A and B are shown apart, each in its own frame.
Chain A
Amino acid sequence: DSGVTQTPKHLITATGQRVTLRCSPRSGDLSVYWYQQSLDQGLQFLIQYYNGEERAKGNILERFSAQQFPDLHSELNLSSLELGDSALYFCASSPEVGNTEAFFGQGTRLTVV
């Protein structure tokens, strides 16, 4: 168990809908990262938050957004969902910016039908 908790584990929704994925980092970790794992794109970095502020952005679509709350949990919001958004979404956490070890949650499997 990595200590990173993601909910829900599975999510099935229709095209055009909006969903929210939640991540609770390991106790004491200030950085949260979101990754998308799909069959055609592999594992891709989406976005990083550190202590409530956005720190780095990767290949995140404009339809997607994230935030990190004062209690350090994070949410990834996906809107106007398309079939191609079906993927496994991972959250990872680490103690601080620059620390290069990440601990991953078990992921949320999103299926868009």
Chain B
Amino acid sequence: AQSVTQLDSHVSVSEGTPVLLRCNYSSSYSPSLFWYVQHPNKGLQLLLKYTSAATLVKGINGFEAEFKKSETSFHLTKPSAHMSDAAEYFCVVTPSGSARQLTFGSGTQLTVLP
């Protein structure tokens, strides 16, 4: 069984300040982990993925995430928020090597204040 917990349903930051979106996971297998972003009225876009290579993963638009097995966490960060980052972010887990069924977290709504 696998699950994902996104610890904050809403996060507000000021433009130019750091972003931290928290995600904890549970998986019976060595998981693959992803962050997806959903802008209003848009589909889901892959930001970055972890598939058992480097634990620090760099994604698009300046985002990165660190896989910490001991803490079962995969937090998403960005050094400096931009207004265009305002969106909903989903942490996703899937067991590696199996028929893929992505398990989504409940989402974190990021608001960027001017």
Contacts and interface: CB of A to CB of B under 8 A. Distances in A.
Contact of A56 (B96, B97, B99): B99
B77 interface: no
Given A2-B45, A105-B43, A106-B42, A98 B102 contact: no
Interface secondary structure of B, over-half rule: loop
11 contacts: A31-B100, A33-B100, A33-B101, A33-B102, A43-B107, A97-B100, A98-B99, A100-B32, A100-B96, A102-B46, A104-B36
Contact of B100 (A44, A48, A104, A107): A48
Contact of B43 (A58, A97, A106): A106
Interface in A68-92: 90, 92
A33 B4 CA distance: 19
A64 interface: no
Contacts of B46: 101-103
A104 B43 contact: yes
Contacts of A56: 99-101
A101 B102 contact: no
Nearest to A94: B100
A110 B106 CA distance: 20
B53 to A, nearest CB: 12
Contacts of A106: 42-43
Contacts of B104: 35, 42-44
What is the predominant secondary structure among interface residues of chain A facing chain B?
strand
A97 B101 CA distance: 10
Given A4-B43, A100-B32, 6 more contacts: A48-B101, A98-B99, A101-B46, A102-B100, A104-B43, A104-B45
Interface in B72-114: 90, 94, 96-107
Contacts of B7: none
